[in-house]
Amino acid sequence: MEKDYLIPAEKIRREIIVVNSRFISTLSPVSNVDEARTFIREVRAEFSDATHNVPAYLIGSGNRVIAHCADDGEPSGTAGRPVLSVLQGSGLGDVAVVVTRYFGGTKLGTGGLVRAYTNAVKMVVQSVPRARLEVLATYLLDVPYPMFNGVERMILENTGEIVDRVFEANVILTLRVKPEYSEMLQHKLADFSAGTLEMIFIDQKPFIRRL
C-alpha cells in the first residue's frame, strides 16, 4: 500500500442529461475489493430498472493498485474503460463509481457514449471532497516533567503529532509519526535526553484526514 494518497471523503452522486438519456454517477470511498463489490451491488439494486449500471474501481494507489471496470451491456470499450480512465487520472485511490444510464430513446453512437460516460464521471470526481490516507506509527513516550516542554516541541517540529497526554508521576505521551521519520525522531529524543527517552512502538496503521 502506498503510504500517503488522496481518497474520497464521502459518498456523493451527480447527474447529467445527454440527448434525453440520464447518466447518474454515484461515487464512494472503498478500502478493499469486497467493499467495492458491495457498493456496486447496492447501486445496481437501487437502480434495478436502469438500462445500464457501469462500474469501475481502484483499490490502492500508485504502483500498487487493483483496477476493474465493466461495460454492463454497452458496446465494448464505450463505458467501463472511459469511466476507469477518469478515475485513474483523478489522483484518487480507494474509490469506486457506478454510472447508471436510463436510455432516452436516441442512440448516442460509439463516440457519443464515450463522451457521455467520461463527462458523467468527471462531474462526480470534480465534486467529491478529498481526504488523505496516511500510514502512521503510534508510540508511547514516558517523559519527566522537566523535559516535557522541550520534548513536546521537538515532536511537533519533526512531523509528529501528540494525540494524548496523561499526567502521572511522569507525562505519558501518545504520539504518531510517519514511519519514515520514526528513527530520526528517536535519535533526536535520545540526544536531547542523554539517552534516557525511548519511544515504545504500539502499532502502525492507516488514518484518514479530511482536507
pLDDT digits (tens, 9 = 90+) for 112-137: 999 999 999 999 999 999 999 999 99
The one-letter code for the residue type at 55 is: P
Rounded Cα–Cα distance for residues 104 and 18 (Å): 8
Ramachandran quadrant class, 205 (left: phi over 0; alpha: psi -120 to 50; beta: rest): beta
**The model scores a pTM over 0.75:** yes
When divided into structural domains, the chain yields a total of 2
In a shared domain, residues 124 and 151: no
In a shared domain, residues 44 and 104: yes
Residue 160's domain is classified under what CATH number?
Answer: 3.30.70.240
- Domain end residue (candidates: 128, 163, 186): 128
In a shared domain, residues 92 and 160: no
In a shared domain, residues 8 and 78: yes
Cell triple for 44:
445496481
Domain of 194 in residue numbering reads as 134-210
pLDDT-derived band at 1, boundaries 50, 70, 90: very low
In a shared domain, residues 29 and 117: yes
Least confident of 61-65, 106-110, 156-160: 61-65
Model confidence at 178: pLDDT above 80: yes
Rounded Cα–Cα distance for residues 170 and 148 (Å): 9
What's the rounded mean pLDDT across residues 21-25?
97
Task: Look at residues 60, 78, 61 and name the one whose alpha carbon lies nearest to residue 69.
Answer: 78
Instruction: Give the model's pLDDT for residue 61.
Output: 83
In a shared domain, residues 75 and 152: no
Cell triple for 36:
467495492
pLDDT-derived band at 82, boundaries 50, 70, 90: very high
Contact indicator for 96, 57 with CB cutoff of 8 Å: yes
